[in-house]
Structure 1
Amino acid sequence: MSNSIDSPILQQVAAHYNSKLLTHGSTSQGVDWNDLRSHELRHRQFLRLVEGAPDASLIDLGCGFGDFLRFLRQNGHRGRFVGYDITPSMIDKARELYGEGDDRHWRVGAVPSETADFAIASGIFNVKGDVPGADWGDYVLRTIDVLAQSGRQGFGFNVLSMSSDPDRRRPDLYYVEPAEMLSYCLSRYGRSVALLQDYGLYEFTIIVRRHALASA
C-alpha cells in the first residue's frame, strides 16, 4: 500500500479526524487527545529536536489544526513552518486560526513536496481503526522513511507504547515495543537516536539526528 491520501488506510484516518474536528472544534479533543495538558506535553518533547535553532525550518506531518505552530512561537521558535495533513478540514481550520505567509504554509497531503531542516509527526500512528496490525505497521515504517527524507537535519515522531498497562490498551489503537522501535531506528538511521519515555504518558517519542543517517 502507498502513502497516497486516496489509499483506504488514509481515507479512514481522514474520516476519523474530520469527525473529531466537527464534534470538538479546534481543541485537543478535536485532534483526538485527552486534554490540553497531555497535548502540550507531547509538543514539548519535540523542542529537543529544534533547541538552539530558533530559525530552523520545520515540517509538521499530520499537523491537525496547527497547534504545534502556536506552541513553537510561544517558545521562541521563528523558523519557517509547513503543516501537512490528509484531512482538508484540518488545513482549512489551520489557515483560519493562523493565516498563511512567508513563515507558515498549510498543505493537504501525506508526503511533503519539499524538505526542511526538521520534520515531526505527532499522533498520526495511534488510531489504526480496523486496519490489520501488520498493514498499519507497514504504513508506520513507510511514514517514518518519509520523515527521514523530509528533515535534512533530523526528525521525530511519537507512538503509543507497549509499556502501557495491558488492560488500558484498545484494539483500535496501535502500540509498539519501545526497544524494538529504538533498535529499528538505530539500524536504519544511524546511532544518533534518542528514546524519550519519561514524560508520564502511555507513549514514547523518538528523536533522530539527520547528520548520523546510515544508508538505507
Structure 2
Amino acid sequence: MKKNYTEIVDHYENCLLQHGDSHLGVDWPNKEDAMKRYQVMLGVVRDINVHNSVLDFGCGTAHLLEYILENKINTIEYSGLDISPLFVQKASEKFPETIFYQTDILDDGNDLPLFDYIILNGVFTEKRNLTQDEMWSYFSEMITKVFEKCKKGIAFNVMSKNVDWERDDLFHVSLDELTKFLCKNLSRHFIIRNDYGLYEYTVYLYK
C-alpha cells in the first residue's frame, strides 16, 4: 500500500522531540490512563505463570517494559519493535540488554521471528490526516501481517464509536465492522475489553 502511514510515524517522533521520554512523548494525554492501558494489554497473556515471549509492537521508548519491571512480572521475555529509528535508539539506550527491532513489517518483516504474544498499544488509535478508508486499509494489512508472527495471540486497541463525538484525527471503529473482519480473515477466537473506562476498546485475538 501507499506509505501514507509515515505521517503517523512523523507525528509520534515530533511528540518525542517536543516532550521527551514521557507519556506525552508518545501522545498519551495522562500517565494514569497510560498505566491502565499497559495493564489491560498484558491481560492478553492467558498463561501468566509460565514464560512467554512478548513483542511490544510500536514500542516507543519501552514504557511497557518499565511497567513490567516495576510490577515484577518475571515470566515475560520482552522484545520491542518500532518503525522509528528515533524511538528504537532511545529504547536501546535505556535497556541495552533488550532486543529491539527497527523495521517496517509491511516492507521487510519476513525475517522477524515468531513470538507467543504481540501487543500493539496505540498503533491504531490515531489516523491523523488519513481518511477512514486509508486507515482501515493500513490497519487490516498490518494486523494480518502481525497475526502471522504470533503463536498464541495479539492485543490491540482502537477508538470506540460509542462516544459523544468522534475526533477526525482518531481511528474510531465499529464493533460490527471489526468483528466481521476478524472472523472472516483471521480468527473467531477473540475477547473485547470495553471495561476500563477510556474512550477506546482493546481486542485480544487468539489463534
- TM superposition score normalised by structure 2: 0.90
Corresponding residue number in structure 1 for 2:35: 40
Alignment of 1:14-53 (within 5 A): 14-53=9-48
Distance in 2 between residues matched to 1:77 and 1:198, nearest whole Å? 26
CA RMSD of aligned residues (A): 1.6
Q: Is contact 2:80–2:99 with CA below 8 Å preserved after alignment? A: yes
Q: Is contact 1:59–1:150 with CA below 8 Å preserved after alignment? A: no
Deviations 1:168-190 (Å, cap 9, x if unpaired)? x2211111012321232233333
Alignment of 1:188-207 (within 5 A): 188-207=185-204
Q: Is contact 1:61–1:110 with CA below 8 Å preserved after alignment? A: no
Determine helix, strand or coil for the equivalent of 1:8.
coil
* Amino acid in the other structure paired with 1:183: K
Q: Using the TM superposition, give the Cα deviation of residue 37 of structure 1 relative to its aligned residue in structure 2, in angstroms.
A: 0.8
Corresponding residue number in structure 1 for 2:80: 83
Distance in 1 between residues matched to 2:76 and 2:37, nearest whole Å? 20
Stretches of structure 1 lacking an aligned partner (at least 5 in a row): 211-216
Corresponding residue number in structure 2 for 1:214: none
2:67 to 57, 67, 71: 71
1:183 to 175, 180, 183: 180
Distance in 1 between residues matched to 2:63 and 2:17, nearest whole Å? 16
Q: Is contact 2:4–2:130 with CA below 8 Å preserved after alignment? A: no
Alignment of 1:74-113 (within 5 A): 74-100=71-97, 104-111=98-105, 112=109, 113=112
Distance in 2 between residues matched to 1:175 and 1:77, nearest whole Å? 34
Deviations 1:129-166 (Å, cap 9, x if unpaired)? 21121111100011111221111111110001111211
Q: Using the TM superposition, give the Cα deviation of residue 75 of structure 1 relative to its aligned residue in structure 2, in angstroms.
A: 4.4
Q: Is contact 2:41–2:121 with CA below 8 Å preserved after alignment? A: no
**Once structures 1 and 2 are overlaid, which stretch shifts more, 181-190 or 32-41?**
181-190
- TM superposition score normalised by structure 1: 0.86
Q: Which runs of 4+ in 1 moved over 6 A?
A: none
The count of corresponding residues between Structure 1 and Structure 2 is 200
Identity of aligned residues (%): 27
Matched, 1:160 2:164: no
Stretches of structure 2 lacking an aligned partner (at least 5 in a row): none
